Structure 1
């Protein structure tokens, strides 16, 4: 009887392989936002870009849900996804954009993103999500690898305490949103949930875009291309994969993938933007990869 009840090994292995592929695609898609965002901010104000990105993504997700005749969520589900939209989109992205505006260096900004796994793990302890010793070792190694990769990029900014406060707020909001989505906001249809999240984030950022930035846009072909990439690739593709990954695994396991963001972003900056990629970064790449493997390997 126990033999009949056991799950087939090939099915378990296939599910793990699919999850690894999804995780890899998610990391690559998320990191493409760096060169696209860098191009976009040369033609429009940051909060205006975020408002347009989230608003267009909300419309696309809503259209997809209508075409598929997805089940309408209850008000409680809508409320849960609204909280995620405020935390993971409006506050998180708005905070890091504000930190960059206030003069924080891009290397330090990337370090805030790379520190997400540790922030998520610490918050998880408060919420009852226990980690094994090997996972803590993986988290520490991953963060050390991120620091090695970014070691030469910590300068270049003239930030004060407000900039670091905005970056810290962004980190805490994304960690909180990751946990909240894993625990409370995984019931609704994928398209419906993401439509609500992006719509709420767009509404939250609209006053800043209008009153603080006066909706400053350089309506050029270059900006339109960058915005289209941010909407279709980062928001539609990236957040759909993040939603699916959170449905299938612990929040800390998914967050550990963010250790890969700064190294992969550095590679993309080298390939696309011609930024410097020093040989001294390579040990950091290896350490990050090993740390992510330790932190996310199966029990």
Structure 2
């Protein structure tokens, strides 16, 4: 079981995170988007804080640098990413959203090149970034005569979600705080939820009280908070330790396939040819950007 465990956990995480996009679409039928995302991380943050108190040596961040890392995580990795994603996903399919989010590892490399000059991109790596952005354009299919069409704006918002996550990841790396990942995740979730509650109040999002009695709404919220977030991140922590960062990024490219299948079965969402072509461009861009790391990972498995 020891050898098959990472593969099993990888598959389970892909299912949890891929189907999460479908749960978001289902929940958005009942909850306003930013408030829905805030509720998700109210619950997930408390669950993760409980786990941090159990598993981490220091469950409370210590010092200015650790709190600074938490603040960046809260604003970019949780609030920025999920607010843009949930608002954008109101007018796009679960599969398209998952595909656009899979651009994050490519964008992370681009931001890393800007903030860490030592991480210079080769010509092939730069081509991978451009190819990933081309994939976004193919999915959006903007009409020059109507650049602010609802579906185009939705695609841009989900792209901004991926951008926020990528930038936040690089900024956290730049801070390089000696904080345990469980503690970082727990307090970032709670801080991000607080930021999203503030944003929801600022834009005066209404909530229909009937959402709290709708089984689909409660089921979607529970699944996102408990399964996709709390359990999903625990799986992520273990896989990150067992496999490494490059291999775990591959979840981003399995999750859209899960989202497409579950979205078709549960929400009757069809996959347009342009969406599939865009996914191929983004995935190829990732392979170009990470080709050396992937080669090293394959070589280490062979040894």
Compute the TM-score of the two structures, normalised by the length of structure 2. 0.71
How much has 1:82 moved relative to structure 2?
Answer: 2.4
| RMSD between superposed Cα atoms in Å | 4.2
- Alignment match of 1:174 (pick from 149, 153, 165): 165
**Cα distance in structure 2, aligned partners of 1:145 and 1:168:** 11
Unaligned runs of 5+ in 2: 297-303
How much has 1:192 moved relative to structure 2?
Answer: 1.9
Q: Are residue 209 (structure 1) and residue 200 (structure 2) matched? A: yes
The within-5 A match list for 1:52-201 is: 52-68=39-55, 70-72=57-59, 73-75=61-63, 76-101=65-90, 104-106=91-93, 109-128=97-116, 129-131=119-121, 158-159=149-150, 166-184=157-175, 187-201=178-192
Count of residue pairs brought into register by the alignment = 280
* SS of equivalent residue, structure 2 residue 270: coil
**Cα distance in structure 1, aligned partners of 2:207 and 2:103:** 32
Q: Is the 8 A contact 1:116 1:256 kept in 2?
A: no
- Alignment match of 1:45 (pick from 24, 32, 35): 32
Q: In terms of mean alpha carbon deviation, does 169-178 or 72-81 score higher?
A: 72-81
Q: 1:191 to 1:122 in 2, by over 3 A?
A: closer
How much has 1:298 moved relative to structure 2?
Answer: 3.3
**Cα distance in structure 2, aligned partners of 1:165 and 1:287:** 17
Unaligned runs of 5+ in 1: 1-13
Q: Is the 8 A contact 2:25 2:89 kept in 1?
A: no
Q: 1:124 to 1:244 in 2, by over 3 A?
A: farther
**Cα distance in structure 2, aligned partners of 1:196 and 1:242:** 17
Q: Is the 8 A contact 1:259 1:288 kept in 2?
A: no
